[in-house]
Amino acid sequence: MPRRQRHFLPGVPSHIVQRGNNRQLCFFNQRDYVVYLDKLREYSVKFEVAIHSFVLMSNHVHILATPSNTTGISQLMQSLGRYYVRYINGRYKRTGTLWEGRFNASLVDSQEYLLAVCRYIELNPVRAGMVVHPAQYPWSSFVCNALGKPIRLVTKHSVYLALGPTPYARQQVYCEFFKCKIPDLVLEQIRESSNKTWVLGGKRFKKRVELQLGFSLPPFPRGGDRRSRCG
């Protein structure tokens, strides 16, 4: 079966997902999370990729990032993956693969879906039953985006910055999103777009992507509460 083609465009966010092999653990203790985030920041700077939100679950990761060029995300994830596998294998005296093949990624329409994807990512620990509130989970960007805790890794997207005139105002608006459930249709769209490398956005966004790529993209489901507002 041929690999699904991944596409990256400068200035267009991508929702990246990478899972542990056979859904097995890829983080074993606190130090592992710290090492991964430290190297993620290092390679994001090196390859000019802005990280807007993230969550490190015990057996997979989600990252929302915007590259400045077409190769930055691939270079970042390849470098990070190789380093982290060497680190884990050396630390725990293991061999073999850690990740389940290549990472998945989908282009995200920032005006329609960016905040929904941020919320989806940062609510992963809640959906998994690990915590009651996202602020209780230490390995995500929620405390930065919603509570103002500095995380050097995180770069605020322009859509986030437009939420209010001050950092506190933006944080308040962002927190409001987490008081309501993400509609089931939106959850399905986000999951399927990342699993199947679909573009996550409306017709106008898809057309713009096709013009930039120079070819037509396969159809994808659409509709629902894309702006991540309550309702």
Superfamily of domain 14-213: Transposase IS200-like (3.30.70.1290)
pLDDT at 2: 47
Q: For residues 68-96, give the mean pLDDT.
A: 96
pLDDT at 4: 62
Enter the pTM of the model: 0.92
pLDDT at 218: 63
- Interacting residues of 2 by C-beta distance below 8 A, sequence separation 6+: none
Query: What are the domain boundaries of the chain?
Result: 14-213
Q: For residues 204-231, give the mean pLDDT.
A: 66
b/e per residue 10-36 (b: at least 16 CB within 10 A): eebbbbbbbbbeeeeebbeeeebbebb
Q: What is the dihedral of CA 52, 56, 62, 64, to 10 degrees?
A: 10
Q: For residues 184-213, give the mean pLDDT.
A: 90
More confident residue, 124 or 1: 124
d(C-alpha 29, C-alpha 160), whole Å:
32
Task: Give residue 115's pLDDT band: very low, low, confident or very high (50, 70, 90).
Answer: very high
Which parts of the chain are beta strand (E)? 14-19, 49-56, 60-67, 104-107
pLDDT at 18: 96
| Residue 225 pLDDT exceeds 50 | no
pLDDT at 6: 81
Helix (H) or strand (E) holding 203: helix 203-213
What percentage of the chain carries pLDDT values higher than 90? Answer: 77
pLDDT at 217: 73
Q: For residues 166-193, give the mean pLDDT.
A: 94
Task: Give residue 101's pLDDT band: very low, low, confident or very high (50, 70, 90).
Answer: confident
Q: Which among 3, 218, 177, 213 is positioned nearest to 186, based on CA atoms?
A: 177
